[in-house]
Amino acid sequence: MSEFNKTPRLVLLPAVDIAAGKAVRLTQGEAGTETNYGDPVDAAADWAAQGAEWIHLVDLDAAFGRGHNHGIIKKVLRQVKGVNIELSGGIRDDESLESALDMGAKRINLGTAALENPEWAASVIAQYGEAIAVGLDVRGTTLAARGWTKDGGDLWAVLERLENAGCARYVLTDVTKDGTLQGPNIELLKQVMARTHRPVVASGGISSLDDIAALRELVPGGLEGAIVGKALYAGAFTLAEALDVARN
């Protein structure tokens, strides 16, 4: 089969969300809905062993402004070799950004800072380029900030501003679907991809291999990857099975 006949593969990023030193999953991003899945280092090592090229690592305590898990994150980065880490949660200034990159994160996912401090976000986008993604976490078309506890403005206005700043990549999460296993918001993804030529990563709601297949159909339109969380931890499918659908 020629390269021209192939649909480009979908990059999968298994998620490791850390709270109080444990790997957890939330429902709709709400503090207090945590389900505990054990040691984050073990979780990350398991995804790496199953073939992950990327891991989406989130410091929930930093995102909620209730501390951080830097020690655990350093341990994950040190022990899980050969896998790219996208790090998210509480990165809101030069110091936290530089610290995250120094720890070995390949890409930083900015959230609240991109909404509340647009001048700073534009400057680091210009400085670091591909190392910066912006997380667009939405309910309807209203962005969510501060660990999804505050409104962060209108999706389309913020997207236009980030486009003008030259943002390299967007991670789009439908907060109402995150951790619910109700399927991704395909329509929202299409709407965002229609307004940017930059790659988009989908997050929230993936429940089945059919969902992975549906997202792969969006790759020609600009979808680059998908973050997979609760479905993996709940055993709906294995990462190896998901990668097979995403690549073939």
SS (H, E, C) the chain: CCHHHCCCCCEEEEEEEEECCEEEECCCCCCCCCEECCCHHHHHHHHHHCCCCEEEEEEHHHHCCCCCCHHHHHHHHHHCCCCEEEEECCCCCHHHHHHHHHHCCCEEEECHHHHHCHHHHHHHHHHHHHHEEEEEEEECCEEEECCCCEEEEEHHHHHHHHHHHCCCCEEEEECCCCCCCCCCCHHHHHHHHCCCCCCEEEECCCCCHHHHHHHHCCHHHCEEEEEECHHHHCCCCCHHHHHHHHHC
pLDDT tens-place string over residues 106-144: 999 998 888 889 999 999 999 999 999 999 989 888 887
- For 97-107, what is the mean pLDDT? 94
Q: Is 17 a catalytic residue?
A: yes
Higher pLDDT, 153 or 59: 59
Give the model's pLDDT for residue 6: 64
Among 46, 137, 178, 211, the one annotated catalytic: 137
Query: pLDDT digits over 103-113, tens only?
Result: 999 999 998 88
Mean pLDDT of 67-77: 92
pLDDT digits (tens, 9 = 90+) for 6-16: 668 999 999 99
Instruction: Look at residue 217 and tell me whether its pLDDT is greater than 50.
Output: yes
**pLDDT at residue 37 in the model:** 75
